Amino acid sequence: MDEENDLVIRGGKIVTPSGIIQSDMAIKNTIISATGHNLGDAKVDVSAHGKFIMPGGVDSHAHIEQMSGMGQMNADTFETATRSAAMGGTTSIISFAAQTAGQTLSDTVANYAARARRGAMIDFAFHLTITDMTVLNFEDDLAALIATGHRSLKFFTTYNIQLSDQKILKVLTLARKYGALVGVHAENDAIISNAKEQLLSAGHKAPRYHAQSRPRVAAIEAVERICRFAQYLDQPVMLFHLSTSEGASAVKAAQARGAPVLAETCPHYLFMTEEVLDQPGLEGAKFMCSPPQRTTTDQNALWQALKEGTLALVSSVHAPYRYDETGKLSAGPDAVFNEIANGLPGLETRLPLMFDAMVSRCEQGAQAFAQITATAPAKLYGLQKKGALVAGMDADIVIWDPDRKVTYGANDLSDNVGYNPWEGRTVKGWPENVVLRGKFLVKDGQFLGSVGAGNWIDRPELATKPSGGSRQEFRT
């Protein structure tokens, strides 16, 4: 017999890209070495009868230790954010290395990488957020960073850090030349400015006006424009956090034309409507994010788009701010909606919310759940050893108890945010054991991770190449 396994998980329902199998899984030297029966002895043996064995979650959109466009620091450090992610079943994240004005991209990445290496407890990669293309050696710097494994970029079309259309075309051109996927926060800035001005001059100040200040047409226009730009230059883009039915339709139409367009949505667009903003006092600030939550019609359209593969994945867009003077209330207890930081925590709740809807309530099933929360983001962003329970991949594994019900409380998350936007919601299905590269990060609900144990994930190549007009490649 072979050398002893490090870990064998016995008797679970293993969810793989090619099917669900009732089997054992062996892990040796941080890697999944085999699935099957009679896999031999192990240093650690775990019974998973009646449980789902899923790939560790891959959350491809999280803001960590980052200054917002409005100049506000996130509440989470790499340590607190990744602890929270792990407790919710996520073992890899892609957060942002966000360039500030005048800063070179290599300095930006060095700065975020140093902090992530010190604090992160799960594996990580960065999207390079481009805000200033006038810095010295911009193109060479970008080319070198992409070549060393930073294979995704991001830009905004609003938030005081937007790029002009001309610069957007330049970024897409460079991304195509050097081989990176480009994520886009797509909302039309002029429409937002116009709507804000009207609301403020009419004396509308409460958080609920945030939704009207970022009208759906702002998102629709920018999504449509970016789809056209992507097609014009044949450069793959990922439309971030789609919130509207029209946005989903625009992506579907673009894909049908052969445009290299991918898109994601998030739990707060699938499960919340803009009514969450309409609360007494400033309570609605806890739910303020951009784009804002929309309507149940939009929710249904986003679910349908996920089912059809128009939307490839669900990320959290974790953007954590405390509900106090360090965060949401930094402009004081009478803050006007446009002075309140945008974003809500989501790293820890993304997977249980999606499991509850997709697996427990049979929306789409366990395989689709694994696909949109782990396999697709890993594949599309080039995390080659992540996101699937297949021999040879990193042993990033979650053992889900499908029967455990949890009702979220007011402040029961492991981040540094101090409130849970999902308070009162009950989910069925719980990530009770979480394994990162063969080691328990969470065991029976107990956090066992170590500060700085997360690894940077090299991305030597992307699956998402320019399409050459092929429609299929950009549907999952």
Q: List CB contacts of 334: < 8 A, sequence separation 6 or more.
A: 205
> Taking CB within 5 to 8 Å according to partner kind, which of Zn ion, ligand DUC, none is near residue 91?
none
Q: Which is nearer to ligand DUC, 179 or 327 (CB)?
A: 327
Q: Which is nearer to Zn ion, 184 or 358 (CB)?
A: 184
Residue nearest to Zn ion (CB): 185
CB of 186 to Zn ion, least distance (A): 8
- Angle at alpha carbon of residue 19, lines to 467 and 236, rounded to 5°: 15
**Chain Cα centroid distance, residue 4:** 36
**Chain Cα centroid distance, residue 301:** 20
CB of 189 to Zn ion, least distance (A): 13
User: Quick one: DSSP state of residue 108?
Assistant: H
- Cβ atoms of 128 and 135 closer than 8 Å: no
- Cβ atoms of 400 and 52 closer than 8 Å: yes
If one asks whether residue 328 binds ligand DUC (CB under 6 A), the answer comes out as no
- Preceding amide of 291 cis, omega within 30: yes
Nearest to 365 by CA among 54, 58, 12, 62: 54
Contact flags string 168-207 toward ligand DUC, x per CB under 6 A: -----------------x----------------------
- Angle at alpha carbon of residue 125, lines to 189 and 443, rounded to 5°: 120
> Taking CB within 5 to 8 Å according to partner kind, which of Zn ion, ligand DUC, none is near residue 63?
ligand DUC
CB of 317 to Zn ion, least distance (A): 6
Q: How many CB atoms lie within 10 A of CB 475?
A: 16
Q: Which is nearer to ligand DUC, 290 or 330 (CB)?
A: 290
CB of 291 to ligand DUC, least distance (A): 7
Structure tokens at 3: 């050398």
Candidate list 60, 342, 360, 420; residue touching ligand DUC; CB under 6 A: 342
Q: Which is nearer to ligand DUC, 223 or 319 (CB)?
A: 319
Count of positions on this chain that bind ligand DUC (CB under 6 A)? 8
Beta-bridge partners for 43:
none
Q: How many CB atoms lie within 10 A of CB 359?
A: 23
Sign of CA dihedral 449, 450, 451, 453: negative
> Taking CB within 5 to 8 Å according to partner kind, which of ligand DUC, Zn ion, none is near residue 319?
ligand DUC
Q: Which is nearer to ligand DUC, 26 or 192 (CB)?
A: 192
Candidate list 319, 388, 398, 457; residue touching ligand DUC; CB under 6 A: 319
Candidate list 23, 235, 243, 290; residue touching ligand DUC; CB under 6 A: 290
Q: Which is nearer to ligand DUC, 9 or 319 (CB)?
A: 319
Helix (H, G, I), strand (E, B) or coil at 182: strand
> Taking CB within 5 to 8 Å according to partner kind, which of ligand DUC, Zn ion, none is near residue 342?
ligand DUC
Site for ligand DUC in 38-77 (CB under 6 A): 63
Strands (E), 57-141: 57-62, 90-98, 123-129
If one asks whether residue 163 binds ligand DUC (CB under 6 A), the answer comes out as no
> Taking CB within 5 to 8 Å according to partner kind, which of ligand DUC, Zn ion, none is near residue 243?
none
CB of 201 to Zn ion, least distance (A): 27
- Cα 41 from Cα 3, distance rounded (Å): 9
Q: Which is nearer to Zn ion, 8 or 242 (CB)?
A: 242
> Taking CB within 5 to 8 Å according to partner kind, which of ligand DUC, Zn ion, none is near residue 343?
ligand DUC
Candidate list 57, 88, 236, 343; residue touching ligand DUC; CB under 6 A: 343
What strands, in cross-sheet order, belong to the sheet with 57-62? 57-62, 90-98, 123-129, 152-156, 181-185, 237-239, 261-265, 313-314
- Cβ atoms of 229 and 260 closer than 8 Å: no
CB of 240 to Zn ion, least distance (A): 5
Residues in the chain: 476
Structure tokens at 46: 């775990």
CB of 296 to ligand DUC, least distance (A): 21
Candidate list 75, 263, 289, 397; residue touching ligand DUC; CB under 6 A: 289
Nearest to 328 by CA among 317, 349, 344: 344
Can you give the binding site for Zn ion, defined by CB under 5 A? 185
Interface ranges with ligand DUC (CB under 6 A): 63, 185, 289-290, 317, 319, 342-343
